[in-house]
Amino acid sequence: MSADMLWSGWGDPDEAAPLPDAVVGLLRDLLGVRPAAAPPAELGEIRVRPSRLAPGIVADLEKVARVRADDESRIRHTRGKSTPDLLRIRAGDVTDAPDAVVLPGTHDDVLAVLRICSAAGVAVVPFGGGTSVVGGLTPQGVDAVIALDVGRLDELVELDETSRTAVLEPGLKGPVAEDLLRERGYTLGHFPQSFEWATIGGFAAARSSGQASAGYGRFDEMVVGLTVATPQGTLDLGRAPKSAAGPDLRQLVLGSEGAFGVITAVRVRVRPLPEHTAYEGWRFPSFEAGAAALRSVAQDGPRPAVLRLSDETETMIGLADPGAIGGGASGAAGCLAVLGFEGPGVEGARERLAAAGGEPLGAAPGEKWEHGRFKAPYLRDALLDVGALVETLETAAFWSAIPAVYTAVRDALTAALTVDGAGPLVLCHISHVYETGASLYFTVVTAQGLDRWTAAKHAANDAILAAGGTISHHHGVGADHRDWFAREIGPLGVDVLRAVKDRLDPAGILNPGVLVPPVSQE
């Protein structure tokens, strides 16, 4: 794996693969996709604006951390990895580039950087793996901004085998953290699609949810302690796994996306490595029938580690095996479910699925999914290369509301993206289940056009709230979802968030415009 993520796309450049000509032809004929008007910009051709940081500020920062101000470092820390982010940077647009990249090495270094920037009014964007897809790395209304890269904070600080907890620093990427734990016989069990590039700090700051969430839980459920640097000092949270000593302030930091402080250490629950794992596929006649089967397993158990269901369109396209796209999609009728088992409970789950009308397909579909589960973002890059726009959005709802949310979002996207009879391809799957509800994860393929996509995304967001869903299950709020998040929690909820930010970050330097709506919006 490359040490640096592709600056204008996803992941390791060596993993990219072009689409077959037959798929390109189908995109042209069915979706109206046309080649981009110009080739993507080259990294060496892009120039960023001169830094707006005063020389004295740079000198102060250099006393407490490493500072990089070269064009490439600034470009590589520009925005995140949403499709709009990638289309803009491929066009050479780096107007949001930070004025410098600052790399502290300790918690105290982070505190010092925040004090310097707070006094000078310089915005600070905490930066881990750079994988945000909701505008979480795009500050708004700033005169000068630094990217605070936590990559040097990358150690396994402590492993408490008695309590089965580990203290991890925020700059550890998913595979490195997992390798360090596996050497001692443990696992986090947290494998989101961004696993190869996202960091421990980002998992916590965005309430990440991994593909094995049915068995291991979301990342916020794994967190039992946090150390946070703020412009006003340190928060050290989590004296015990649970407490009745007032509201749990850990929950205030989890999901705060760098708007309240910079996470510098995370204490997480770990589990022994499973003795064996097994993946398998099941087919259901419809998405409705498959969802009912997943609900039965989620509510009454036994619950596998991985439990996901593709709708009819996603099953037909074969997105459960991204490596097969264009090489022969499944073409199968019905809906594909993938289960991943770790330990006992296999037969009980199988019995429930069979009773709900499921047809066992054996190990092959599950193993194909497991083999390609981190590959979908590379497929997006290939689609962008030929002029298609592909983007994802997700939500969650109670089981009783899932059908309405599913239909409302599909209808909103289809209506907004249909032009001259050519509509989008809208796919969906359930990938995170609970006793009370589940997530819905949509993938959209259409002809490129950022204005059209923005309008479609807004329509989908409206549909989510109107149908009873949450604006984000695991991608976070960022700047893209902020206004709908404000509608979801209401004016008083927004006032509470503003009060917290004013106390921890009175100068408003931490990721301005992300998560917390500015007062001027009213």
Give the pLDDT confidence score for residue 21 in this predicted structure: 87
The 3-state DSSP class for residue 188 equals coil
Q: In sequence order, what are the beta bridge partners of 388?
A: 447
Give the pLDDT confidence score for residue 198 in this predicted structure: 97
Residue 329 reports pLDDT greater than 60: no
Give the pLDDT confidence score for residue 464 in this predicted structure: 98
Mean pLDDT of 278-285: 96
Q: How many domains does the chain have?
A: 2
**pLDDT band at 330; cut points 50, 70, 90:** very low
The 3-state DSSP class for residue 126 equals strand
CATH code of the domain covering residue 39: 3.30.43.10
Residue 488 forms part of a structural domain: yes
Closest by Cα among 76, 8, 6, 10 to 41: 8
**pLDDT band at 227; cut points 50, 70, 90:** very high
SS3 letters across 436-472: CEEEEEEEEEEECCHHHHHHHHHHHHHHHHHHCCCCC
Mean pLDDT of 299-308: 95
Residue 139 forms part of a structural domain: yes
Give the pLDDT confidence score for residue 326 in this predicted structure: 42
Angstrom distance (rounded) from CA 154 to CA 171: 5
Give the pLDDT confidence score for residue 15 in this predicted structure: 85
Residue 181 forms part of a structural domain: no
Residue 421 reports pLDDT greater than 70: yes
Residue 283 neighbours by CB under 8 Å, 6+ apart: 332, 334, 335, 336, 337, 358, 359, 361
Mean pLDDT of 183-205: 97
Mean pLDDT of 290-299: 97
Kindly report the average pLDDT of the chain as a whole number.
94
Give the pLDDT confidence score for residue 145 in this predicted structure: 98
Residue 438 forms part of a structural domain: no
Domain endpoint, select from 117, 133, 149: 149
Look up residue 413 and give its two tokens.
């996207």
Give the position of tokens 């000078």.
120
Give the pLDDT confidence score for residue 3 in this predicted structure: 73
Residue 490: CB atoms within 10 A of its CB come to: 10
With 0-12 / 13-18 / 19 or more C-beta atoms within 10 angstroms meaning exposed / middle / buried, residue 38 is: exposed
Residue 489 reports pLDDT greater than 80: yes
Mean pLDDT of 329-349: 80
Mean pLDDT of 58-74: 98
Q: List the domain range (segments joined by +) for residue 105.
A: 13-149
Give the pLDDT confidence score for residue 320 in this predicted structure: 58
Look up residue 343 and give its two tokens.
């330990």
Look up residue 32 and give its two tokens.
């109206």
Give the pLDDT confidence score for residue 325 in this predicted structure: 47
Residue 266 forms part of a structural domain: no
Domain endpoint, select from 109, 125, 149: 149
Residue 273 neighbours by CB under 8 Å, 6+ apart: 182, 185, 186, 187
Give the pLDDT confidence score for residue 105 in this predicted structure: 98
Percent of the chain with pLDDT over 90: 85
Angstrom distance (rounded) from CA 175 to CA 178: 5
Sequential DSSP letters for 311-367: -HHHHHHTTTSGGGTTS-----SSEEEEEEEESS-HHHHHHHHHHTT-EEEEHHHHH
**pLDDT band at 2; cut points 50, 70, 90:** low
For residue range 345-359, what is the model confidence (pLDDT) as tens digits?
Answer: 678 899 999 999 999
**pLDDT band at 208; cut points 50, 70, 90:** very high
With 0-12 / 13-18 / 19 or more C-beta atoms within 10 angstroms meaning exposed / middle / buried, residue 355 is: exposed
Give the pLDDT confidence score for residue 13 in this predicted structure: 84
**pLDDT band at 230; cut points 50, 70, 90:** very high
**pLDDT band at 295; cut points 50, 70, 90:** very high
Residue 328: CB atoms within 10 A of its CB come to: 10
Instruction: Establish how many alpha carbons lie within 13 A of residue 153's alpha carbon, considering only the half-sphere containing its beta carbon.
Output: 33
154 phi/psi in degrees, rounded to 5: -140, 45
Mean pLDDT of 326-330: 41
Give the pLDDT confidence score for residue 273 in this predicted structure: 96
Domain endpoint, select from 97, 130, 149: 149
**pLDDT band at 327; cut points 50, 70, 90:** very low
Residue 353 forms part of a structural domain: no
Cα 273–Cα 276–Cα 281 angle in degrees, nearest 5: 125
Mean pLDDT of 20-37: 87
Give the position of tokens 């089965």.
164
Mean pLDDT of 383-394: 94
SS3 letters across 263-325: EEEEEEECEECCCCEEEEEEEECCHHHHHHHHHHHHHHCCCCCEEEEECHHHHHHCCCCHHHC
